[in-house]
Amino acid sequence: MSVVARRSRVRVTGTVQGVGFRPYVYRLAGELGLGGYVLNDSHGVLLEVEGTAEAVERFLARLEPDAPPLAVLERVVTEELMPGGERAFTIRRSPSGETPDAPVTPDTATCEDCLRELFDPTDRRFRYPFINCTNCGPRFTIVRGVPYDRPLTTMASFTMCAACRGEYEDPTDRRFHAQPNACPSCGPSLPLLDAAVAAIRDGGIVAVKGIGGYHLACRADDERAASALRTRKHREDKPFALMAPSLTVAESLIVLDDPGRELITSPARPIVVAPRRPGATVAESVAPGAPELGVMLPYSPLHHLLLADVGATLVLTSGNVSDEPIAYRDDDALDRMRGIADLFLVHDRPIETRTDDSVVRAGPRPTVLRRSRGYVPSAIPLPGQGTPRPLLACGAELKNTFCLAKGKRAWVSHHIGDLENYETLRSFTDGIDHFARLFAVEPEVVAHDLHPEYLSTKYALEVDGVELVGVQHHHAHLAACLAEHGEPGPALGAIFDGTGYGLDGTVWGGELLVGDLRSFERVGSLLPVALPGGARAIKQPWRMACSWLTAACDGEPQLPPALAGRVDPRAWAQVHRLAVTGTAAPATTSMGRLFDGVAALAGIRAEINYEGQAAVELEAACDPHESGSYPIAVGGRPLVIDPRETIRAVAADVRAGAHAGVVARRFHRTIAGATVDACVALAAAHATDVVVLSGGVFQSRLLLESVSDALAATGLRVLVPDRLPVNDGGIAYGQAAVAASLLA
């Protein structure tokens, strides 16, 4: 064995705080007989090891491969030093006063070791709702600053007892330097658990303070309770999320493949949306008429106790009135949900950042619908050299997230929601301030959407002393997907959604773009039609049915039979006149509005109660045995997808008494085929083999899989957002990528 002395300093960056990395380094150094130290600082982890050259080499070789499961090492830089004869290895105190630059870990589901202790009557943490260790527990939602140490979390006011302090200081213990470490003697408390269980069993609705905010809970198999919750929450139709006590129970509710099982049991514990299993025992009011259910597993010890004690699957929906942000401050929750909840289950550990549950649709191509708890605030790299100047991207109006970026790191925020009221706007501005402090980003550049009336745009325009970068909405979708996959472009993008402000001042939404991170060209679109009544047409899909019929037929179209009795004939005639004259009816190429119009023509949905409802129900209605399609025109320069013949055929089918499921399936197949034809033609014309599919319309599993599979079969490479939502939740990252590219 070599006896040559060697000392190495190692800088480790990435997600290495709050994941047991220092204890791991301590134990590895001890195993190899090395001296030195390890500490957290504002940049990550810094360590020095000294010993024989062979032992140091073995340490460096094992440092990354053997790291704790929650650690994500971005970079390991080694510097050689003069040996000093140090033989002991210590964990040093974190320095203070530095500029923070270290990633913060997402909240992580309770690990198996803690679960065993939670239900072990002989363990001192038996049934303790705040059990955690270095491998699990709250992180982002309790962090007030970095480095990630207890004084900079909401656990600062809880002083560890001697037993907990002993674990915290013992390098061989699983709770060594676990910052939220606590027990019933010294940690947060939760009164009324038994009363909450009894209330839920008896059909009551309970507001439950969780990790990132309040939920409203009731039995999922109790129709009276679920119906009452829907009424009190003013949530007419949108499905509720469910929390099942185990994977076995979850699979009795939804159909999961292996990737779906991995998703639902992952440390992030998202809500997984999957096909409803026939015979699933949930109340009708949980998800009226929906073919899919959103199910998650318990991710905190409190949830595990609640599910075990109630002995049933729970509805666990956001603690708010519809369209408001989730409540997370105790006084605010009591005020806002006093008329909804029968009982409040409140604990005394403060929540620093409200964070909704993440939502992912399972399938061959899992699709992120909402990126929040469990994933945020993990950084997503910016391509190339990143941004030379710190920047803020303000995102879109609906499903808003914001993004702060510095160097090669971009921090996309948790789900903020629709910026349509003061409460959500306050959540947006507070979130930006918190992220700016947490990651020491002082924006010099602010990127924003082009729509002048978006609250996110207005916020950007009011920031003093910064350079502004306007980014077109659909270009941001294209750029987000390219940047996430590390693709420089150019690529063809089929970007289909509901609304996006176009360069010509019209409402875009069915766009075919060729571009990269810096620029784009609009090479095709859906045929533009009138949006009669503007925003009212979004809430009333029958208006789009009238608009498309007006565009497709001569004269005033008759009120379709499927809408008879649901739409006033006088209102139908007025909307027709708006569509013809263009009065209060801006032009739109929105693919989302086309889906709305067909849903109304088929009699599926004349008016909606939540965003995207008509398209969701149109997909849900599809007859899986139907193999037909409708005629549609695709061609021209710029290319136009012209569905007027499709609309005439749909109307004829409906008049002939065709079932809505037949119409829905034929329509989906038609749009998928037209999209494929358009993409193949344009990719060839612009000499690219990369196609991006993005935008909220591609939340449709049927459309996404049909188009992506057919394009791949032609030899084209298909890119779909992976870590980010396909909807507007990914816009902020796309804005950041565009701005960074322009700055570079």
**pLDDT, tens only, 298-309:** 999 999 999 999
Higher-confidence residue: 471 or 421?
A: 471
Q: Quick check: 97 pLDDT over 90?
A: no
Q: State the pLDDT at residue 422.
A: 87
Coil, helix or strand for 722?
A: coil
Q: Cis bond leading into 560, ω under 30°?
A: no
Q: State the pLDDT at residue 98.
A: 61
What percentage of the chain has pLDDT greater than the value 70?
99
**pLDDT, tens only, 686-697:** 999 999 999 999
Q: What is the CA radius of gyration of the chain?
A: 27
Q: Quick check: 20 pLDDT over 90?
A: no
Q: State the pLDDT at residue 421.
A: 86
Higher-confidence residue: 68 or 710?
A: 710
**pLDDT, tens only, 529-547:** 999 999 999 999 999 999 9
What are the start-end ranges of the E strands in 565-716? Answer: 587-588, 633-635, 639-642, 690-694
Nearest CA among 687, 704, 694 for reference residue 728: 694
**Tokens at residue 75, please?**
């970079």
Distance CA 620, CA 329 (A): 37
Q: State the pLDDT at residue 171.
A: 80
The CA dihedral of 727, 733, 736, 741, to the nearest 10 degrees, is -90
Nearest CA among 164, 314, 182 for reference residue 244: 314
Q: Quick check: 570 pLDDT over 90?
A: yes
Q: What is the mean pLDDT of residues 28-47?
A: 92
Nearest CA among 255, 244, 325, 322 for reference residue 282: 244
**Tokens at residue 531, please?**
């949006």
Hey, how many other C-beta atoms are within 10 angstroms of the C-beta on 33?
12
The mean pLDDT value of the chain amounts to 95
Q: State the pLDDT at residue 324.
A: 84
Q: State the pLDDT at residue 6.
A: 95
Q: State the pLDDT at residue 95.
A: 80
Q: State the pLDDT at residue 100.
A: 54
Q: What is the mean pLDDT of residues 395-410?
A: 96
**CA angle, residues 308, 314, 315, in degrees to nearest 5:** 160
Q: Quick check: 1 pLDDT over 50?
A: no
- Can you give 360-425 as a three-state secondary structure string? EECCCCCEEEECCECCCCCCEECCCCCEEEEEEECCCCCCECCEEEEECEEEECCCCECCCCHHHH
Among the residue ranges 33-42, 98-107, 469-478, the one predicted with the least confidence is: 98-107
b/e code 228-264 from CB counts within 10 Å (16+ = b): bbbebbebebbbbbbbbbeeebbbebbebeeebeebb
**pLDDT, tens only, 242-281:** 999 999 999 999 999 999 999 999 999 999 999 999 989 9
Q: What is the mean pLDDT of residues 372-400?
A: 96
Among the residue ranges 167-176, 232-241, 432-441, the one predicted with the least confidence is: 167-176
Q: How confident is the model at residue 99 (pLDDT cuts 50, 70, 90)?
A: low
Distance CA 429, CA 339 (A): 28
Nearest CA among 298, 350, 346 for reference residue 319: 346
Coil, helix or strand for 690?
A: strand
Nearest CA among 675, 663, 676 for reference residue 715: 676
**Tokens at residue 342, please?**
């029968």
Among the residue ranges 164-178, 346-360, 658-672, the one predicted with the least confidence is: 164-178
